[in-house]
Structure formats: structure tokens, C-alpha cells
């Protein structure tokens, strides 16, 4: 952008909030249980955001590198769901919050780790990724995570070796999972690729893109690649929402309301479904293992910008742009935008009210400005028109893009 | 509606799904731990739905009465949040999923019940409602729940007495809460109003309205009364999402994706934020204590109608209805609908692209069709315009409803 | 004892050990969770010991008064076993160590508190003591504890009121027990007598006598009163051994090896079955809630005096005092002391060896010096003699006190 | 034994009880979680007993072979205590009952398995046995267990392979222990020797000898070899008493009162300290994993023969055989047998009473018939005599074996 272009207001806003949080006191300690992580500079602090339109924003230390650690978990889980389907994955790992720490030994009565966000569940998830060996498995994971990020990601070897050298507890969790029949590979063929996926190096822009891919129904908004399907994205977000922030997950959903996942490397990825992916990075961790300033920044963002999952406008945009009555008494409903079930419910209600009030008038439902119709919404619309016709009313549609299919119903009406 | 009005398609659809679920095998047992509940007719099955526009739908046994039981919990929690504020409430009861059954003894290190959806937390919540006595406290709760439902609700005395007679475990939980300093009343002054709130009698339409009130930012869509504020509604939905379905809450969010709360009376309330409240009723319960057919119906509704919280359209409606370039080169951005942060980010990006490409042109941002602007969105818009002006660009707005405030900024720019 | 009688060596030894422990550093804090307990003088330190012969010893602050607190638990448990029998008591409270703190919420699958040494189990035990009211129940407990101590014990009213005022957690435990069907009384009719029994005032000599009564098969060695039967005493000691020292019970048995019970008032009662009851008192408690110096003193006593339950002489005294062969070749086995199974096994083996070696000799078993014969030992002796006679051997007994009964067997042999 | 020797009465009694238990209904299932164990004949039932005098008894299927399984745990623990000392061992594994099943994941705050009787603790214990490799470690264990049994024991290779093949859970426990820093070897170098020790083949006579060695202060009563010292034996018995019967340990101590350890192979070893080791074998297990008929037989033995640890004679044999007053008024106390603290307390009391009553008489303490004096008892005796002399009394001893040492004290008295 040339010099006289004004600084864009999103960057400006992110910078303002980052500076404000940096000026506050958010005590924390750099993780030390993996020796290599101790070297992180506690002063680094950056944020990146990527919209589902693919626009990128950022402030602070956006170029600082860190390792994914547990942030890899939801994305590898998404890859497993996409590869094997939900039933196979649920046979191996549950989706219930454990109320426990990340390295807890939490298995349910069926022998499954409680969820894929704790280490035991993440190891089981990694083992599900197809591969003849641990190395092959990791290569597939690396490719998948790279597709989420839109660039070729690489592990940090020093961190990987450090993880592997101190990884006995994770090997024990994998062995327990194997003993209860839910580890689809050998212990080392799960643990080693898991240590490698944790050691993949990113910056906060990378994880913002990864989050934006989940926000965008699984399609990377920068590359346009569909990494996973929309249903898998939704399921992954559900697990992040209920289990993503360790034993603070409930409070996070309550206060921040964005599906998110933190890693002990100091990163947090957060998602505003349908809108943004956000990545933050600051190494000092709070006692629950979440980046202390990173969490504070996301709380502020959520509060100031109304990003809470369960916040929403009081008066949603009406799907009916206009109701036009011409001289002949014909009533045209000018329907616009995307039609989901709730939108068609509004259209249906308006049309029926008109049918009820002025029984004899001709009704036209104009779908020319409609950009998308969900399956259920289409069925509702079809049912509306067919039942009206069967009752003897004159209802027609303007539907140049054939959003709905009335032929068989119309036939049956005659 | 007169005879020749066609059956409305929402009722038709609800009826179709209800019939389908009724024809399937969903084993369950009518609750028997409160003697009076044993008398429920296991064959009853009804569903009601109420949109945030206040339209009501239903199918099946919509007139069948049942008692709220645990469905009262999120609503009383909402009342407590509204009365006392989030900080006081969080001092007494947490918001973390417990991974445990409804009657579990789950207190955190601070002595708080883990969340308000388990009995211990619900008792603590009830004790927070102001009142000189248990009776006064209950009267306030009854009024609040009535406001949610839009009609005067009453307890079923036989059920209340049965709850009270067999309520030793709940009294023990209240006593434990008192011992750890989080019960704001005497044991009986919490337990008795709690037993009464559980015994309040409703039908599935009532709980659909109660849910719709949460869906509608706390405003009852039928009466127009603001029962709670929007933030309280959002927080209540968060707790329902993470803790509402006992130890199946994670799976519910994963599969169904609607904040919900079940009761052992056989009811379930579910919410599609910004769109619908849904109430279902069928007495037989699954092993987790949720209505077996009720849960199945909600799963089907969610799947068929795309009601999952984290599901959303792939290409959201653009907030820019048109970009009009007149002969003089003036570029007008015709902005419409509701402007949240994400919408303004799109507007901002489009405007800045134009500023960048054609530096000399005049820009008009037309906000005449805008129906609502969030605070953050307004700030972003203002920042966009002011910084452009400071950079010497000619940017004006058409803003007949004064959605944004440029005066002070414009002043400071001169 | 007149002036020129030397100080008795047991007192001397107790005094020496007490002084040594007092000179060591045993950090601890006076209990403060019951307000009245805070007033205890942390410098008090006393020990008392009472042999099963009824002799009393002591050193240090033997006159200092303190309240029984949890020391009441095993004795009230013994009273319940004696009143109701083991089956009824086991239906209400288990005997498994909980590995948990004294106020833990530990119920087993049958709804029973895990053992009578944790508060929940102690409340259930108190409720089992017959009584129309809490007051009547307490009076019976007071009488029973007084019989154990050999003097009329009285509660300290200030401590009792303090216990009752701060006793919500115990009331909650009682209510939970009631809810699971194992509390045999109303909540207050268990909790109030429990608070009173905890507040009974004693000195370390009193609890030494109480322990000596357990050591002496339930007979108070000073008064001669059989407070409970021998089997109940043995069972009570078993529960003290496995559960008496809270979550340090295993280590206590390992290191000290005396069944014991501590109270937060600073007292500990310990028992050397068949030999001694010991009472110690020093208010500062270790983190597990046991008197810090009291435990140290008992450890030293056990180590120096070989009081560990599983310690025993390497070569036990032979029950055969002499084997006398007279001129006629008659072999007389001069048996002495108490004959349990193990002793008779030795006698039997010796007699059979002789029978085997010198088939023709006459054998006499002289029981004149025998002081006691267990039932099983008597059966073994009878079987030995009868089978030898049946095999044609000449075996006779000298049994002036008729310790065994050979008549019917002898008859059948002829 | 020749034909006309009568059947010995101990065998006769064991046979009678075994037949009685076999005729009762004791439901159970042969262990199947290690495939090889499934082949056990459920009808086998045998019992062996060995006294500390080295005499052997038995009834039923005494020749039937089975594998030690968890019965190996206390003996390997004893070997570790003997090799490394109690402090090192306690740094690695605790001694608290877990209240949990044998394969539970129970580690304390210090990262130690709760006790050596659960698998995690047994693996840690095995790893403590010195050895360059797993094979070397096992060889040392094999030798130690063979010393306990008095014959060269060997593993059953088929069972070993089966254990190893299905041993993932145990490997996981070892890995967890390694992760918490308490496994002194590599995972396989602990797990493989552990699997081998579990698969060592014995009969019920073998484990009776092993138990008798613990009963006999660590000296094998058949071979005379001191396998471990007396203190280690006592400590091992303590852990068996509190933790030996899984989550039934408390009830076992309460009802049976013998330190014991069961194995899923169907064996149970029980110890009557100072008297007997007992081994039983019957493959079907109760739900807690203890041999169903084996446990019943031990319960019956304990009850009928008074073998409960806390049962003891009401009037113990007096250590004073006679008090003889000659014409000159000299009073001779004829002391006999083994003198522990309690015995000397009786002697001391009697002597002091005489000193008090008849101040002028000459006193003789005759220790000629004394067979053993504990250190503490010796000190007490010395203190008695010295203090009496210091008070001017004429007290002498007859002590041909120099049981006590009066020289320095006597010197100081002059």
C-alpha cells in the first residue's frame, strides 16, 4: 500500500487493543516442561486476523515464530474426521469436556480418551491418520496442516527432539490407549508424529489463516482449497468450543465465546464462524496453560467487537426486501440474500398472512435476488407454494436460477 | 385460520419429523426417582417452536403438561445474573462442565459448584435470588419464569411435595454449599424454592417461548417484555451449550449444536440464537437423563434444517448492495442491513481498495438502508472515513438516521 | 509411693522419650477450623500408658485436658458393633480405607461411607446408637465412652457449641448419608450427638485406659468391666489399623505398627493388643491432621520397645516345658501356659514324632500347668489323642482342670 | 509315615475345612484377561500350611501348579527393601492403600504409585532390584523368590509370553512411572522381569513356605536361610495387611485379620506372624480378583483357629514362673521365657510392689530360665535394679547367660 493510503482501520484497532493489553498486568510463566520452550522471549506479543474473504490483518510481533504444540490438535482432528468419517473417529476418541488438565489420564467407560484436545485424545487422533509408519503419518499431517495454513509448514527440529526426549508421559498415555484398544498404531508410530506435529513452526498470521479456514467452512480463504468439508469444520469448532481451553473451557465460552485452542508455545487460535480466524502469540502462560496476554487480547476483542458465538443482532435483516402490490392486486414478495430455514419461515409467514387476508389475490414470490437456498429452506418454500395451490390459490414464482424445484409438485397439483 | 387456508409448512414439517421419530425405536424409561413423575404417560410426544418474530408452531401433544425440573435451571441462572451481575454470581457458582451426572457432588477448589446446570449449582443459584424467605424467593422466581414464558406459571403441588419428601440429597448438596460458604441463604430457604421451581407446570409451547426469549436477546418475542438483557441471554446460552445436557453436553454440541437444557420431566428446551426457541416433550429418558425421543427430534431438526450453532452459509450476504459510479466519477457504496464488525470490515476493505486504485475520486458511503450498527462497527467506519480524510481524500457519508458520529472527528481533522 | 521408692522405670522411660521428642523439631499447627480449638496451648505435651494388668504410667502434661474429637470414632464404632452386631453395622458403613482426608465425601457403590473413621462414617455410626432423640443417643454414647475410660466423662460445652455452629459440612455429610439410606436417624439427631461426643473432655491417661480396654479384649483393666466383647475389640482394632490415621494410615501401620486413632484436638490413642493402651497429647497437627509430636513419640516408642503389630520374638516360648522319660519308658509331655492352635500344633508334632519313633511307649500329656485352651486348640488335642488311641497307642492325659473333653471320643474308641 | 501312624490332626483339620468350603457355593470366574490363565481347571482346590518350626501340612490338590501372579509382589518388595533400604524404596513407591483395583492408575502427589501391591507399584518395585538388564534383574528376583520358597523356582514360559503379549496396560503404567521419575530402569527392563516374576510356577506348599518365611522374621523355616531381616519381614507384612487384597483389603483385615496377598492365578498366601504361612489355591476369582474359595477357606481357618492378628489370649502367660520367699526373707523372682517390654513391665511392677511393701527384704531376680531379652526390656530391667540399688535396696540377679549388663550401672551406684 502506498504511503498516502491511510492505515487500515482493522490493523489500527488491533494495534490499539494489543498496546492496551500489553500495558496491563497479565502474569504468566513461559512453559518449561519441554526444555526447548524455555528459550522463548517472554516479551513477544503479536496478533493476526484473517477474514473469510481472505483479507489479512495484524499488529505487534507478527513475524515471531513459535511452535504449534496443542494448537495442532483441532486441525489434526479435523483431518482425521475428513479422512475416516465421524463414526470411526468417535469409536476411538470422545467429545466430552474432561474438566481436567491437558495431560490428564481421562478415559471413558469405553476406553476412549474423553476428547481430542487432551494429550491422550490427541495421540489417538494422530494414530488415526493413515500411514505405514510414523514418518509417513507425520508427512500426511504436515501436508494437511500446510493446506490449512496455505503454505508449506516445517517442524522445528530442536523442539521436536526436546519433546521426544521428555515425552515419557505422552508415551504412557499412548500405551494406555493401546491397552484399551483405541490406538490405531504402535506407540512410537503415534508418539513420534505427535511430537513432530507439536513442533511445527508458525507465526500468528499462519494460525489466523488456519482458523479462518475453519471459519470459512473448511475452505482456505487465501488459496481457495477446500481442506475439509463444511460439516467437519463445524464439528471441529464444536470440540474447540467445549474442550479447547483445558479446564477453563466453560469460562472461555462464557466470557469470550469464540471456539479456540491454545498451545503451551504461547499461541492461541480463535474462530468467529463465518467471519474470522484470529491468531495471537505471547509466551507467558497462566496456570491453566493458556497464553496469559493472548487470552486477555481475545477477551477484549470479543467484548469490543461483539464476537461472542451467542451474540447476534436483535433485528436480523429481513429476507423480504420489498412487498409490491400492483394495480391488478398482484402481490410480489421480493426475496433476497441467502435463505435458510429461519429466513423462509419469515417469507412463509408473510405470504400466508397475505393469502389469509386477501384470499383472491395473485401472489408472486420473486427469488431473482436470492443467492443461496438451503435444502430445508427449499423444501419449506416448495411446501408453501404447493399447499397454497392445492387450496386453489394462484401462487407463482420468479426463479431464473431455479433455486427451487416445483415441477413434480405442480404436476401433482393438477 | 379459516378452513381453506393451507396448513402452514412449518407445522407440517414439525409434524412430519415428529411422526418419523415416533416411528423409530428410542428406548427410555420414565423417571422414577421422584415418585410423582412415575405417573407420566410415556406415549406423549409434542414439539413447539417459536421464532424471534413471535410466530408459534407446533406438532403432536402440544397441550400436554409436564414439570420444568432442570429446565428451570438456565432461566433462574439468567435471573440471578440479571439481578446480581456476573461477578457476584461467578463468586458463588462456576461455569465449567463437570463431566458428571446431574446430582454429582462437584465443587471446585474455591468451593463453588462447578456449574449452575448440576443440582448443587442450581441450588446455589436459587439461593442468590433475593427474598426474605424461601417463599418470597420462590415468588420472585415464579414471576421471572412467567415473564420468560409470557404467561403466569404455577407449580404442581403434588410434584412439589414429592420432590420435597425425597429431596435429602439436594438438601445435602445445599448444606455442603453452605459449608463451603457459597450458599447465600439457609438450606431450606434454598431447597424449598428449588423444589418448587422444578415443579412448575408447562407445555412444550411454554418452554419454546422461554427459549425464544433467550434466542431473542432476552426479549420475550410474544409480549415484548425485556426479561433479561442481551449479554445475560448470551451468557446463559453459553452455559447451556457447555453444560446443559449433563455428561452428554460435549456430544450434544458436536452433533446437535443448539444450546439446550433437559429436565427429568421429559422436556427439553433448545435455542437457535437469533432465530428460534424450541420445546420438546416425551417422558421416557435415556441413561443420561435426557428425553430419548425429544433428543432424537432435536437432532433431526438440527440436521435437516441446518440449525447447528457453528454451521453458517458459505457466502454471507454482502453488506454492500451496490457500488455506483456516476458520470462525475463519484463512487457510491450502497450499504444495507445490519453492520457488525465483520460487515464493516468488508465495507472498509472495498472502500480502501477503491481509494487505493483511484486516488482522486470522490467517495460516498450511503448508510440510508442500514438498519443497525454495532458500536465496534461504528468505530471502524468512523476510523475509515477520518483517516481517509486526513490523507486528503474526499469521503462523505449519507446517514439520515445518524448511524455514525463524524462531527468531532471531522472537527479534529481540520 | 513413699519417698524412698525408686521412680518406676516405665515412667522414667516415657519421660526420657518425651523429653527427647520435645527437643526435636516437629512442625505443626494447632487446629483452627473449630474456633474453640484455637485456644489450645501448643506447648502442652503428655503421654500416658496403661497395661492390660491395669498398671498406669505417664510423663509430661498428663493432667492437661483436651477434647476427644475423632478419637471418639473407634469407641463409638465399637459400641455400635456391640449393640447391633457386625451385619447391621456393615450394612450402614464399610471398613475400607479411603485414601482420603477426614472430611472427604467418600461413599461406596452401596451408598455407605467407606469407613467409620472418616466423618461421614462416624456420623452414620453415631446414628446407629439406639436412642429416641439425639440427646438420648448422646447419653448412651457418653455412658459407653465413660465405661471405656473407667470414669464419668463430660463434654466441654464451649467446644460443643463451636462444633455445632461450624458444623455445616458434617450436617451435609449426614444429609448425604440419609439420602443414600444409611443414616438411621434424622440429620440433627446424628449430628448433634456427634458434635457432643467429639467435645468430650479427657486427659492422656483417660485415652490410655480406653486403648487398654481394646488391648484387653474389651475389658477395662482398671474397673474389670467388660465394655465390649473380645471379637468387637478385635474388629475395632482392625479398622483403626487400616483407617485410623486418615490418609497416612498405610504409612502408620508400616512404620509404627500400632492400631491408633488421632483427633484434631491433639490427642492420639494407640493400642498394643494384649499389652498396652497408650495416650499422647500435643496440640500442633501435621498436614494430615495428626498430632505432630504425638505421632513422633509413638514412632519412637514402637521402634525402641518393639511394639509393632507384626514384630514378634524369633523363637517363641515352647508350650512344652519338659519331656520326661521315666524308667518304665513312659514319656510325659509337660505342657504349660496358654494353648492356641499354634501351640498345640507344636505339642501335636512332638507327640506324634515320639509315637512314630517309639511305637510301643506309653505317652502322658500333662496339662496341669496349662492356663487356657482355645476351642480350636482343644479340638486339635482331642483329635491327636483319639486318633492315637484308635491306632492302638496308649496315650493318657493329666487334666485336673478338664481343659479338654475326651469322654465321648474315648467312648467311641472302645 | 508308616501305616499305623495316625493321620496328623492338622492335616485332618485342614482337610475337613477344605471339604466344607468345597461343598459351599462360592461363585467365581477363572481369570481370562491373560489368555493362558483361561486353561486353569476351576475344580482344583488345595491348601498348604507351614509352621515357623518348619513343619508342613496340607490338604486337597497340593500338587497342582499355578503361577504366582500378584503373589510375587510382596516378596519382590521385601527383596527391594532388603537390598536398598526403606528410604530408597519409599522414595519410589508409597505404602498407602489406594481403595482401587489392581490395575488402577494411582500415583500420589510425589509421583509415586500409592503402594507396591497395585501393578504400578509392583513395576516400580521390580525396577528397583539391581541388574544391568531386564534378564539380569529377573535372575536376581528368581533367586530371591527361590530362597523364600526353599527350592529353585522357574517361570512358566507360555504364561510369560501371554503376559507379555497382552501387557500394554502394564507397559503404560511403567511408562507413567518413568515419566514421573520413579522407575529406576527402562520400561521394558521393568515390564519383562515383572511379567516373568508373575509367571513363576508354584504349588500351594511353596507359597506356604514363602509365607512362613515372612512369619518367621525372614528366616526360611525349612532351609534356615535368612532371606530378609526381621524388620523387612515386619514391614512387608504391614503392606500386605493394608493393601494386599486390592479394594477389599480393609474388609479382609476386619474379617480375616491375616496379612495376605492374592494373585489372579488363583493362589493366596496368608501369614500368621510368628506362627504360620498358609497357601491356598483355587482358580475361580471373585469380582475383586481374589480366589473365591481360597478366601472362604482362609476366613474359616481364621475364625475357627483364632488366627486374627488382633485376637490374642485374654490372660497372657506370666513371665514370672514363681516367687519364692525363703526363711531368710529373701524374695526370688523366677523369670522365664522371652522378655519383651510388656513382660519386663510385669516383672518390674511385681518387684517394685515387693520393694514398696517390705522395704528391708533382699530381692533376687533369677534370669536363668530366660531365653531372650529385647533391647528395651534389658534397659528396663537394668533401670529397675540400678534405681533400687541407688535407693539403698539389696537387689541382685542370677544371670548365667548375661542377658543384661549391670556392671557400669553397679559401678556408678557405689
pLDDT digits (tens, 9 = 90+) for C142-187: 999 999 999 999 999 999 999 999 899 899 999 999 988 999 999 9
Catalytic, out of A57, A77, A160, A194: A194
Least CB–CB distance from A342: residue in B13, B219, B276: B276
Residues 6+ positions from B185 with CB-CB distance below 8 Å: B127, B131, B134, B137
Top mean pLDDT of A248-252, D77-81, D174-178 is at D77-81
Give the 3-state secondary structure of B227-264: CCCHHHHHHHHHHHHHHCCHHHHHHHHHHCCCCEEECC
Cα A165 from Cα A252, distance rounded (Å): 33
In order of A328, A375, A382, B404, the CA distances from A395 in angstroms are: 14, 21, 11, 42
Contact A237, A309 (CB under 8 A): no
Residues of C in contact with D97 (CB under 8 A): 96-97, 99, 242, 249-250
CA dihedral over C284, C287, C293, C297, signed as positive or negative:
positive
Q: Which residues of C touch D308 (CB under 8 A)?
A: 234, 238
Angle A132-A138-A141 from CA coordinates, rounded to 5°: 115
Q: How many other C-beta atoms can be found within 10 angstroms of the C-beta atom of residue D19?
A: 12
The H or E element containing residue D387 is helix D375-390
* Ramachandran sector of residue D343 (left: φ over 0; alpha: ψ -120 to 50; beta: rest): alpha
When CB atoms are compared, the residue of B168, B169, B178 closest to C168 is: B178
Regarding beta strands A200-202 and A260-262, do their DSSP bridges make them parallel or antiparallel, or are they unpaired? Answer: unpaired
**Residue A409's pLDDT is what?**
38
Quickly list DSSP for C231-260.
HHHHHHHHHHHHHTTGGGHHHHHHHT-S-E
Q: How far apart are CA C63 and CA C201, in angstroms?
A: 11
Instruction: With an 8 Å CB cutoff and a minimum of 3 pairs, decide whether chains C and D touch.
Output: yes
Give pLDDT tens digits for C276-287: 899 999 999 998
Helix, strand, coil in percent for chain A, rounding step 5: 45, 15, 35
Asked whether at least 3 C-beta pairs link C and A within 8 Å, the reply is no
Chain D residues with beta carbon closer than 8 angstroms to that of A169: 175-176, 179-180
Its ipTM equals: 0.86
**Can you tell me the distance from the alpha carbon of A274 to that of A233, in angstroms, rounded to the nearest whole number?**
11
Comparing A106-110, A284-288, B124-128, C287-291, the range with the smallest average pLDDT is: A106-110
Give the up-direction half-sphere exposure of residue C40: CA atoms within 13 A in the CB hemisphere: 31
Q: What is the mean predicted confidence (pLDDT) over A182-207?
A: 97
CA dist., res. B165 & res. B159, Å (int) = 10
Tell how strand B267-272 and strand C331-339 pair up: unpaired
Q: Chains touching chain D at 3 or more Cβ pairs under 8 angstroms?
A: A, C
CB contact under 8 A, B105 and C176: yes
Mutation pick from C175, C178, C181, C191 vs chain B, by most beta carbons of B within 10 Å, is C175
Could you read off the pLDDT of D347-380 as tens digits, one per residue?
A: 888 888 888 775 567 889 998 878 777 777 787 7
Q: Which of A264, A347, A365, A395 is catalytic?
A: A264
Residue D191 with chain A: CB contacts under 8 Å: none
Q: Is pLDDT of D3 > 50? A: no
Q: Are D113 and D263 in contact (CB under 8 A)?
A: no
pLDDT at D127 over 60: yes
Is residue A376 over pLDDT 60?
yes
Query: Beta-carbon neighbour count of residue B286 at 10 Å?
Result: 18
Distance between CA atoms of residues D36 and B306, nearest Å: 53
Q: Return the C-alpha torsion angle A63, A66, A71, A73, nearest 10.
A: 130
Residue C158 is placed in which grid cell? 464451649
Nearest CA to D229 among D237, D218, D221?
A: D218
Asked whether the beta carbons of residue B239 and residue A230 sit closer than 8 angstroms, the reply is: no
Judge whether residue D409 has pLDDT over 70.
no
Question: Which candidate, C125, C69, C58, C62, places its Cα nearest to that of C262?
Answer: C69
CA distance C15 to D396: 26
- On whether the CB atoms of residues D71 and D65 are closer than 8 A, the answer is no
CA C28/CA C33 separation, integer angstroms? 14
| Rounded-to-integer distance, Cα C210 and Cα C204, Å | 10
pLDDT at A7: 61
For D50, the 3-state DSSP assignment is: strand
The C-alpha cell of A6 is what?
491511510
pLDDT digits (tens, 9 = 90+) for A52-86: 888 899 999 999 999 999 999 999 999 999 999 99
Lowest mean pLDDT among B106-115, D233-242, D339-348: D339-348
Q: How far is B109 from chain C (nearest CA, A)?
A: 14
Verify whether residue D261 is a known catalytic residue. no
Global pTM reads 0.83
C-D C-beta contacts closer than 8 Å: 272
Q: What is the pLDDT of residue A359?
A: 58
Task: List, in order, residues 6 or more apart from C395 with CB less than 8 Å away.
Answer: C351, C355, C362, C363, C364, C365, C384, C385, C388, C389
Residue linked to cell 441413561: B287
A86 is catalytic: no
Joined grid coordinates for residue C29: 499447627
Query: 10 Å Cβ neighbour count for C138?
Result: 23
User: C-alpha grid cell for residue A287?
Assistant: 496456570
Among B235, B338, B379, beta carbon nearest to A254:
B235
Chains that touch C (3 or more CB pairs under 8 A): B, D
Cβ contacts (< 8 Å) between D179 and chain A: which residues?
Answer: 168-169, 171-172
Cell of B246: 449433563
CB-closest option in D168, D178, D180 to A179: D168
Residues paired with B272 in a beta bridge: B276
| DSSP letter string, C16-84 | HHHHHHHHS----B---SSGGGGGS-TT--EEEEEETT--EEEEESTT--EE-GGGHHHHHHHHHHHHH
Q: How far is CA D378 from CA C224, C310, D270, D336, D403, in A?
A: 31, 21, 33, 14, 7
Q: Do chains D and A touch (3 or more CB pairs under 8 A)?
A: yes
- d(CA C95, nearest CA chain B) in Å: 22
Alpha carbons A233 and A210: distance in angstroms, whole number: 11
Catalytic residue from among D47, D73, D262, D370: D73
The alpha-carbon gap from C249 to the nearest alpha carbon of chain D, in Å, equals 7
Q: What pLDDT does residue A122 have?
A: 96
Position A288 pLDDT exceeds 70? yes
Confidence of residue D142 (pLDDT cuts 50, 70, 90): very high
Nearest to B169 among C168, C171, C179 (CB): C179
**pLDDT for residue D66:** 97
Is A264 part of the annotated catalytic residue set? yes
Residues of chain D whose C-beta is under 8 A from some C-beta in A? 105, 168-169, 171-176, 178-180
**Beta bridge partner(s), residue D60:** D46
Tell me: the pLDDT tens digits for B144-155? 999 999 999 999
User: Taking a C-beta distance cutoff of 8 angstroms, is the pair C221, C54 a contact?
Assistant: yes
Sorting pLDDT into bands at 50, 70 and 90, what band is D102?
Answer: low
CB contact under 8 A, B341 and A305: yes
Highest mean pLDDT pick, C367-381, D156-170, D356-370:
D156-170
Amino acid at each position: 500500500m502506498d504511503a498516502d493510503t491511510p492505515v487500515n482501520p482493522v490493523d489500527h484497532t488491533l494495534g490499539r487493543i494489543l498496546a492496551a493489553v500489553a500495558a496491563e498486568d497479565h502474569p504468566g510463566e513461559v512453559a518449561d516442561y519441554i526444555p526447548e520452550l524455555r528459550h522463548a522471549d517472554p516479551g513477544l506479543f503479536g496478533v493476526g486476523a484473517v477474514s473469510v474473504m481472505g483479507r489479512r490483518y495484524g499488529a505487534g510481533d507478527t513475524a515471531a515464530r513459535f511452535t504449534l504444540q496443542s494448537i495442532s490438535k483441532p486441525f489434526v482432528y479435523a483431518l482425521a474426521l475428513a479422512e475416516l468419517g465421524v463414526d470411526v473417529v468417535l469409536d476411538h476418541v470422545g467429545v466430552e469436556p474432561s474438566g481436567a488438565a491437558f495431560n490428564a489420564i481421562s478415559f471413558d467407560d469405553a476406553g476412549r480418551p474423553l476428547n481430542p484436545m487432551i494429550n491422550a485424545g490427541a495421540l489417538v487422533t494422530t494414530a488415526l491418520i493413515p500411514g505405514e509408519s510414523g514418518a509417513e503419518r507425520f508427512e500426511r499431517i504436515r501436508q494437511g496442516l500446510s493446506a490449512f495454513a496455505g503454505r508449506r509448514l516445517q517442524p522445528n527440529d530442536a523442539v521436536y527432539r526436546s519433546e521426544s526426549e521428555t515425552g515419557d508421559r505422552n508415551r504412557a498415555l499412548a500405551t494406555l490407549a493401546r491397552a484399551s484398544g483405541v490406538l490405531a498404531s504402535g506407540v512410537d508410530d503415534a508418539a513420534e508424529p505427535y511430537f513432530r506435529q507439536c513442533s511445527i513452526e508458525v507465526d500468528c498470521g499462519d494460525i489466523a489463516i488456519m482458523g479462518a479456514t475453519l471459519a470459512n467452512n473448511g475452505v482456505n480463504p487465501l488459496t481457495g482449497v477446500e481442506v475439509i468439508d463444511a460439516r467437519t469444520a463445524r464439528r471441529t469448532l464444536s470440540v474447540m468450543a467445549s474442550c479447547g481451553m483445558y479446564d477453563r473451557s466453560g469460562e472461555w465460552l462464557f466470557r469470550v465465546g469464540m471456539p479456540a485452542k491454545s498451545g503451551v508455545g504461547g499461541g492461541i487460535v480463535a474462530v468467529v464462524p463465518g467471519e474470522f480466524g484470529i491468531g495471537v502469540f505471547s509466551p507467558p502462560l497462566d496456570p491453566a496453560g493458556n497464553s496469559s496476554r493472548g487470552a486477555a487480547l481475545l477477551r477484549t476483542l470479543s467484548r469490543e467487537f461483539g464476537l461472542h458465538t451467542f451474540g447476534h443482532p436483535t433485528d436480523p435483516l429481513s429476507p423480504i426486501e420489498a412487498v409490491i402490490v400492483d394495480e391488478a392486486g398482484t402481490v410480489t414478495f421480493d426475496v433476497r440474500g441467502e435463505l435458510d430455514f429461519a429466513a423462509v419461515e419469515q417469507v412463509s409467514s408473510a405470504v400466508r398472512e397475505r393469502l389469509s387476508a386477501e384470499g383472491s389475490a395473485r401472489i408472486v414470490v420473486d427469488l431473482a435476488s436470492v443467492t443461496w437456498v438451503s435444502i430445508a429452506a427449499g423444501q419449506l418454500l416448495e411446501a408453501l407454494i404447493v399447499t397454497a395451490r392445492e387450496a386453489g390459490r394462484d401462487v407463482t414464482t420468479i426463479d431464473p436460477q431455479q433455486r427451487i424445484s416445483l415441477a413434480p409438485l405442480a404436476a401433482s397439483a393438477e
